[in-house]
Amino acid sequence: EFKISDIVNDVIFDAKLLLKEGQQIKYRENITDLSLYQDEQVIELILTHLIHNAIKYSPENSTIHIDIQQNEDLTTIKIIDNGIGIPLKDQKNVFERYFRSENVINTEGTGIGLNIVKNHLENLDGIISFESEEHIGTTFIVSIPNTAKQ
Ligand code: ATP
């Protein structure tokens, strides 16, 4: 049992070391803060990867927003960046193992993270989706049941 706000604050604290010049992370703290009965470490890993990507793929002096909404059953987390975006033609491939878009050649990475994140979410009965526009930014949306399946 844990609160999603605690995990998010921990991940943001650790991610601060990676921020570029003038980058900041803004977390609009949710009013409802229900407990989750889920694998805390797995959810921390998922959020860490998505926030690291948001930092890596957005420029100096930009802001990353984290937004959380909860209802009785579901916790939904949005990670919103104003970065390079994912070209439309690549959007169907981003969850493939080792896929990297051609607009990321000057950054490090293997292309495996989102594949791992998606597999973990499926194990939790969760869902991941995104909206992205090249040169505008990307929003990843993760929904997780508040209680693990039996
Ligand atoms: P690694 O997993 O080793 O960190 P990676 O970041 O390249 O490498 P993924 O996290 O799997 O791998 O992402 C796959 C691809 O999806 C990225 O290479 C990039 O093209 C695209 N991508 C993911 N997140 C973003 C984002 N926030 N903005 C723009 N492109 C993104």
ipTM over 0.90: yes
Q: What are phi and psi of 9, to 5 degrees?
A: -65, -40
CA atoms of 127 and 120, how far apart (whole Å)? 10
What is the DSSP pairing of strand 35-36 with strand 2-3? antiparallel
CA of 82 to the centre of ligand 1 (A): 14
For the chain, the first-to-last Cα distance in angstroms comes to: 15
Gap from CA of 29 to ligand 1 centroid (Å): 26
* pLDDT confidence of residue 150: 72
Pocket (CB within 6 angstroms of ligand 1): 53-54, 57, 81, 83-86, 94, 99-101, 104, 109-115, 138
Q: Model's pTM, two decimal places?
A: 0.96
Q: Which two tokens stand for residue 27?
A: 């977390």
Which tops the pLDDT comparison, 150 or 55?
A: 55
Across 117-144, average pLDDT: 97
Q: How far is the CA of 131 from the centre of ligand 1 (A)?
A: 14
Each residue of 37-92: pLDDT tens digit? Answer: 999 999 999 999 999 999 999 999 999 999 999 999 999 999 999 999 999 999 99
